Amino acid sequence: MTADTSTEAPATDKKLKADKMPFGRWMRIVGWRHIVAIIMVIWALFPVLYVITLAFSGGNTLTAACPPSKTGLGALSCLIPSTFSLDNFTTILTSDQWPFAVWFRNTVVLATLNSFLALLMGAAAAFAFSRLRFKGRRMGLLLLMLVQMFPAVLALTAIFILLQAIGDVFPMFGLRSIWGLLLVYLGGALGVNTFLMKGYFDTIPVDIDESARIDGAGHVKIFFGLIMRLALPILVVVFFVSFTATFNELPMAQQILPDPDNTTLAVGLNGLVSNPLLQQWGLMAAGGLMAAVPMLIVFAITQRSLTTGLTAGAVKG
């Protein structure tokens, strides 16, 4: 008896091609989401594109970017610059009336120093509340939370009087001084940063501290050598938040640094359009575009760690 050596040919895999979804059904299930997303993107990008168009238009009025004759859907063509001029940039950079370079320098110095100092102060306070046990610890946390419930603008009068009194003794830290404004920023950011970093520090195992103490490490070495390294993601988040908040802050800076010759970008650019009789919208748009450069640089540098810190903070905090 001979064995049947013939084998059955393997069945060929047939690729199942999904039937094309009718347009009406696709629109009901998926299409409307795409339309909503496109509308939201256009809504978000419209102010940015309009500011860019206005900055390069060479004019100083809002109609310089889009004439009143263009209405309805025709106004969308205003988002594409029809003219390209650097007059607004040249004027604001070379004008003696609007010292843009001084505004830019003050803002970058304030934002950078405040971010680093607020980060260090908040991290030190968070380490103390997270790792140390001392009398008044719980009450201190409650007081920090209570202080943060009141907007800083409500304390504007008290801050003004306090800086005026400090200026009589230490003029360097009084009114009309960027260093006095720096003190205000540091005090306002301490509570928020402390709570934010304490929640992250609590997730770091205490066993690491105990192991370091066995090897002879003190609180300072544990803080700078271990905790600060392990908490790098949340430190980046705090730095970025502090930098952006300081860079864009207006009410405090407007009261403490009212002099247009020595103020911040937010106050200076606001002054270009705050006077109803003389509004320099083109100069404001050009200055705003240049002011966005440091923000984009900081975001590009901290983007990866910023995403990690926000994700980890959402899970661990």
CATH of the domain at 111: 1.10.3720.10
Distance, CA of 222 to CA of 149 (rounded, Å): 32
Per the domain annotation, does 1 fall within a domain? no
Distance, CA of 253 to CA of 182 (rounded, Å): 10
User: 46 and 130 share a domain?
Assistant: no
User: 178 and 285 share a domain?
Assistant: yes
What is the reported pLDDT for 267? 92
Q: Look at the block and give the residue holding tokens 């004019």.
A: 59
Structure tokens at 70: 């263009």
- How far apart, in Å, do the first and last CA atoms of the chain sit? 77
* CA within 13 Å, CB half, 224: 6
User: 85 and 116 share a domain?
Assistant: no
Q: List Cα–Cα distances, 10 to 15, 132, 172, 189, 259, in angstroms.
A: 15, 71, 88, 71, 86
What is the reported pLDDT for 279? 82
Amino acid at 208: I
Per the domain annotation, does 76 fall within a domain? no
Structure tokens at 307: 């995403």
Per the domain annotation, does 144 fall within a domain? yes
User: 43 and 132 share a domain?
Assistant: no
- Domain extent, residue 228, equals 100-316
Per the domain annotation, does 9 fall within a domain? no
DSSP string, 248-314: H--HHHHHH---TTS--HHHHHHHHHH-TTS--HHHHHHHHHHHHHHHHHHHHHHHHHHHHHHHHHH
User: 129 and 268 share a domain?
Assistant: yes
Structure tokens at 189: 């950011």
Per the domain annotation, does 298 fall within a domain? yes
What is the reported pLDDT for 314? 44
**DSSP helix/strand/coil, 82:** coil
pTM of the entire predicted model? 0.79
Distance, CA of 88 to CA of 97 (rounded, Å): 14
Q: Helices 281-316 & 100-131, crossing angle to 10 degrees?
A: 10
**pLDDT tens digit at each of 317 positions of the chain:** 445 544 544 444 444 444 577 878 888 888 888 899 998 988 888 888 888 888 888 877 776 666 666 666 666 666 676 678 888 899 999 888 889 999 999 999 999 999 999 999 989 988 888 888 888 788 888 887 777 777 777 778 888 888 888 888 888 888 888 998 998 888 877 878 888 888 888 888 888 888 888 888 888 888 888 888 888 888 988 899 899 999 998 888 988 888 888 899 999 999 898 887 788 888 999 999 999 999 899 888 888 777 666 665 444 44
- Tell me the backbone φ, ψ of residue 80, rounded to 5 degrees: -105, 115
Distance, CA of 293 to CA of 269 (rounded, Å): 15
Amino acid at 88: N
User: 33 and 168 share a domain?
Assistant: no
Based on the structure, what is the number of domains in the chain?
2
What is the reported pLDDT for 67? 67
> How buried is residue 291: exposed, middle or buried, by Cβ count under 10 Å (0-12/13-18/19+)?
buried
Q: In terms of residues, how long is the chain? A: 317
User: 112 and 85 share a domain?
Assistant: no
Per the domain annotation, does 240 fall within a domain? yes
